[in-house]
Amino acid sequence: MKEAGITWTLRTLMRFNSFLDDVVYGNGLFVAVGCSGTIFTSPDGVDWTQRTSEGNDLFGVTYGDLFLAVDDLFGVTFGKGLFVAVGWDGTILTSPDGVNWTRRTSGTSNDLSRVAYGNGAFVAVGRYGTILTSP
């Protein structure tokens, strides 16, 4: 029996010339996003189907009752019933539904690249070693 994370199999989508930036799993589906609005979905991580989008570069994707991808914001996550997205110049936005967003004060002008939720806290990271936390 193979141990998880030890052995990897290349699943390159040769017919597509796209850079993929992020991947998430939720509701029985993997979703990968990237340049020029590229979106792929897969139920098993092996067989992938290309989906259509608006055409903007997509940098992050998360799942929280719905799949949410972001473009000019670099990272997005879901936790405690809240979507949190981060990006340029210390931008932090939150949304309870993925539609209506509120800008939050980050206290930094450094670009933020990723955000995660776990153990009861949101953690955002970015340039120059920036780490921000929020309960």
SS3 68: strand
Which helix (H) or strand (E) element contains residue 122?
strand 121-126
Give the confidence band of 4 by pLDDT, cuts at 50, 70, 90. Answer: confident
Q: What would the pLDDT profile of 72-93 be if each residue is shown by its tens digit?
A: 899 999 999 999 999 999 999 9
For the stretch 34-72, pLDDT in tens is 998 999 999 999 999 999 888 789 999 999 999 999 998
Give burial (CB, 10 Å; 0-12/13-18/19+) of 122.
buried
Query: Would you say residue 15 has pLDDT above 70?
Result: no
Q: What percentage of the chain carries pLDDT values higher than 90?
A: 78
pLDDT (0 to 100) of residue 62: 98
Mean pLDDT of 131-135: 96
At position 52, the amino acid (one-letter code) is: T
**If you average pLDDT over every residue of the chain, what do you get?**
92
Predicted TM-score (pTM) of the model is 0.89
* pLDDT value at residue 2: 66
